[in-house]
Amino acid sequence: MPKLSKESLETYKPAVSDISNEYIKIGMSTCGLAAGADAIYRTFLEETKMRHLTIPVQKCGCNGMCYAEPLVEVKVNGLPVTTYGKVTKDIAVRIIEKHVVEKLLLNETIYDCRYQELK
């Protein structure tokens, strides 16, 4: 494989800049898996597919709040990055309906909320 040059990297910028920075991340470390995170991950995959949503559903590691597993971090444009805890299948469906689609927070299950500069 040839070495990448600055010029060749420039050709990738348009493709990368078109990618949305939204995501749904499910904590899949040992503590998350023990609390049922795998079923929650599958629920998010099924719900996003069923609703034809393009938001990526990703696996991630531990963030240190093992007591609140399964944890789900959601980043949707226009809202703060939000971590939901003790997520069940029903709550996962509500996160899709309310947070992702309607752009509303589910206050009763929020464990962390980080505001950042909205672009």
The CATH number assigned to the domain holding 93 equals: 3.40.30.10
Residue 5 lies in a domain: no
The Cα 93–Cα 43 span in angstroms is 8
The Cα 78–Cα 38 span in angstroms is 28
- Return the pLDDT at 55: 97
The Cα 69–Cα 87 span in angstroms is 7
Q: Which residue has the tokens 């600055």?
A: 6
For the question of whether the overall pTM of this predicted structure is more than 0.85, the answer is: no
As for how many domains the chain has, the answer is: 1
Residue 103 lies in a domain: yes
DSSP state of 77: T
The Cα 107–Cα 115 span in angstroms is 15
The Cα 22–Cα 100 span in angstroms is 9
- How many residues can be counted in the chain? 119
- Return the pLDDT at 15: 46
Residue 88 lies in a domain: yes
**In which domain, by residue range, is 37 found?**
22-114
Helix (H, G, I), strand (E, B) or coil at 62: coil
- Return the pLDDT at 63: 86
Residue 100 lies in a domain: yes
Residue 99 lies in a domain: yes
104 pLDDT band (50/70/90 cuts)?
Answer: very high
- The predicted model gives 58-64 an average pLDDT of 92
The Cα 95–Cα 101 span in angstroms is 9
